[in-house]
Homo-oligomer: A and B are copies of this chain.
Amino acid sequence: MILNRAWLLARRPEGAVQASDFAYREEAFDAPALQEGDILVRTRIISCAPTIRNWLNPPERSYRGAIGIGDPIRGMAAVEILASRHARFEAGQWATAVAPWQDYAVLRPDEAAVPITPIAAGMDPVDAMTLYSPNSLTAYFGLFAVGEPKPGMTVLVSGAAGSVGAMACQMARIAGCRVIAVAGGPDKCRWLKEEGGADMAIDYRSANLPAALKEASPKGIDIFFDNVGGDILQAAVDRMAPHGRILLCGQLAAYDSNIPAAGPRDMMKLVYGRIRMQGFVVGDYADDYASAIASIRQWEAEGRLRNRYDLRDGFDRIPDAFVDIFNGRNAGTLIVRI
């Protein structure tokens, strides 16, 4: 008998998410009859993305599609297509898709909110989930399309050792900018300075952040790539150079809380500083993914961009891995092979 294992939402987390908020289920798996337009997939690698935390909130506090109690958690995954009744997909292909945290699932590509994208033949699915993933593309389009970096600019990146942040730091370095990274803990800071493209790294756990930022940015910050929000956002606003840009990628500081991510305490600093603060979502740039991936591929081949991920094995380890993101116990993109 083939089993279909799943991780379900057992209860809505109050405050910090815990592994016990998830429930394990296994059921006998009988391959279903596919409808026209369906594909049957086997989930192979799942990505523990912070944004999933928001979908665990009740609908009134979720920005997009809250997950129901008792329903499988879903998130970005690399899937193997086992059977297809969709013209653009065939059995044996791999693809990236938002899929449930379970072994087998039926997906309908034409109704997917996030496009299901075949993984090119010859591309390692781990690379597809890390180096060429939506996280990397988020760093790319946030920095280049929204931030408009120029050589010599000072770029600050929060959550810099995370999946998006580590790419943003390295890409800002490639753009000729001076890069200040903010991350939690000496190991992450060391990696950022030695390999991650950062000129300076500030450990927010031990540093006085406003003082450290002041010292690190004598002429102010031109671009702030913000993955975290909260106190880091406030400290950055106080150091922005005139006409600076704040790229609002995420607000990790608030995901694991019942309190929304508040904005800066003093908007007049944005007025007088002519600061632009801009939210963005990677899906808006889908038409340009191919050229972004080509650039990333070339930079990696030239040794200018390093992939960094935290690969774990085992279906049973998913909840602990997910909780680790919020405790900062991941080293780059956290993926679980199942």
Residues of A within 8 A of B (CB): 54, 63-64, 229, 233, 248-251, 254, 260-281, 284
Contact = CB atoms under 8 A, between A and B. Distances in A.
Nearest to A253: B267
19 contacts: A229-B267, A248-B271, A249-B271, A251-B271, A260-B268, A261-B267, A262-B262, A263-B266, A263-B267, A269-B279, A271-B280, A272-B279, A272-B281, A273-B279, A274-B281, A275-B279, A277-B277, A277-B278, A278-B278
Given A248-B267, A251-B271, 18 more contacts: A54-B268, A64-B272, A233-B267, A248-B270, A251-B267, A251-B268, A260-B266, A260-B267, A260-B268, A261-B267, A263-B264, A263-B267, A271-B279, A271-B281, A272-B279, A274-B284, A276-B278, A278-B278
Given A262-B263, A263-B262, A263-B263, A268 B281 contact: no
B275 A267 contact: no
Contacts of A273: 279
A280 B284 contact: no
Contacts of A277: 270, 276-278
Contact of A63 (B64, B233, B250, B272): B272
Contacts of A278: 270, 274-278
A54 B264 CA distance: 18
Given A248-B270, A270-B248, A265 B275 contact: no
Nearest to A244: B279
Given A275-B278, A276-B276, A260 B265 contact: yes
A35 to B, nearest CB: 31
Contacts of A267: 229, 233, 248, 251, 254, 260-263, 279
A159 to B, nearest CB: 13
Among A250, A265, A276, which residue has the most Cβ atoms of chain B within 10 A? Answer: A276
Give the 9 A-B CB pairs with smallest separation, nearest first: A263-B263, A260-B266, A270-B279, A271-B279, A261-B267, A277-B277, A276-B278, A263-B264, A63-B272
Contacts of A270: 248, 263, 277-279
A250 B277 CA distance: 16
Among A229, A261, A265, which residue has the most Cβ atoms of chain B within 10 A? Answer: A261
Contacts of A251: 267-268, 271
A265 to B, nearest CB: 5
Contacts of A63: 268-269, 272
Contacts of A266: 260-263
